[in-house]
């Protein structure tokens, strides 16, 4: 009897471990379509925010290699030349006329519902521990619903529920929660861009729409364009060279 119970317990533990491993594998694969883990890629983002009835627009470029991202603001004129550098979970901000970059948080708001960490390359597999909550329909396709918990304090969100298409291996929807479990915003994702990667054409994000959970009128839309593989030198991600 004891042997049977022990065998059952070991089987359950093995299944749990495999489920966690599967969740991380699914997550890592989905990161690629949002810039995570790629050897070199660049793109442009137009950020349009409606916040409390006021419109705000920003244009910027992003360069990314693996877990490093460099963001440069192009417009409007008042923010042109500002930069965000993210290496791992550390982020710095610089602007023209300031001699040294300033450490900032990835959680800090960039514009409306978009945080600084939202515009960098997505490396959820490195930043979060994932478990599979369930499978369910997402429109016309089946999705795995993953619960992501922050692996350290430097990440953008404490907890995320992430719907990943099982057929396309792409994140289609996310809900973002505080450490206490309170939902404060959600996002949807569209993938109409494509890039060449390891000899294949893979989808890449084209739109992210982030909505306030408490005020449906507060919405930030990120439009991605001019996505291309790029040979980016390591010096681009050197904080000592950020101001030059």
Tens-place pLDDT, residues 200-240: 888 999 999 999 999 989 999 999 999 998 889 999 999 98
Tens-place pLDDT, residues 165-197: 999 999 999 999 998 999 999 999 999 999 987
185 within some domain? yes
200 within some domain? yes
Tens-place pLDDT, residues 116-135: 999 988 999 999 999 999 99
Residue 49: per-residue pLDDT: 95
Task: Name the band, by pLDDT with cuts 50, 70 and 90, for residue 154.
Answer: confident
What DSSP string runs through the chain? Answer: -HHHHHHHHHHHHHHHHHHHHHHHHHHHHHHGGGTTT-SSEEEEEEEEEEETTEEEEEEEEEEEETTEEEEEEEESGGGTT-EEEEETTEEEEE-TT-SS-EEE-TTSEEETTEEHHHHSPP-HHHHEEEEEEEEEEETTEEEEEEEEEESSTTSS-SEEEEEEETTT--EEEEEEE-TTS-EEEEEEEE--EEEEETTEEEEE--EEEEEESS-TT-EEEEEEEEEEE----GGGG-GGGS--
| pLDDT above 50 (res 30) | yes
**CATH number, domain with residue 165:** 2.50.20.10
Tally of domains within the chain: 1
- Domain holding 144, by residue range, is 21-241
- Per-chain mean pLDDT for the chain: 88
Task: Name the band, by pLDDT with cuts 50, 70 and 90, for residue 103.
Answer: very high
Residue 19: per-residue pLDDT: 67
Percent of the chain, pLDDT > 90? Answer: 68
Averaged pLDDT, 154-174: 95
15 within some domain? no
157 within some domain? yes
């Amino acid at each position: 009897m004891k042997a049977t119970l022990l065998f059952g317990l070991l089987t359950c533990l093995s299944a749990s471990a495999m489920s966690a491993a599967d969740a991380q594998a699914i997550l890592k694969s989905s990161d690629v379509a949002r810039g995570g883990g790629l050897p070199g890629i660049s793109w442009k983002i137009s950020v349009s925010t409606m916040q409390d009835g006021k419109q705000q627009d920003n244009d910027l470029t992003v360069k990314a290699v693996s877990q490093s991202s460099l963001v440069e603001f192009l417009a409007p004129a008042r923010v042109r030349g500002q930069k965000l550098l993210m290496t791992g979970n550390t982020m710095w901000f610089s602007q023209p006329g300031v001699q040294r970059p300033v450490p900032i948080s990835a959680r800090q708001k960039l514009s409306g519902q978009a945080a600084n960490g939202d515009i960098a390359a997505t490396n959820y597999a490195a930043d979060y521990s994932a478990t599979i909550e369930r499978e369910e329909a997402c429109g016309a396709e089946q999705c795995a619903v993953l619960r992501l918990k922050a692996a350290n304090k430097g990440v953008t969100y404490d907890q995320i529920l992430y719907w990943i298409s099982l057929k396309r291996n792409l994140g289609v929807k996310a809900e973002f929660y505080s450490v206490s479990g309170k939902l404060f915003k959600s996002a949807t994702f569209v993938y109409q861009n494509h890039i060449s990667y390891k000899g294949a054409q893979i989808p890449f994000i084209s739109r992210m729409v982030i909505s306030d959970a408490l005020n449906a009128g507060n919405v930030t839309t990120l439009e991605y364009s001019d996505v291309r593989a790029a040979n980016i030198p390591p010096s681009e991600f050197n904080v000592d060279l950020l101001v030059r």
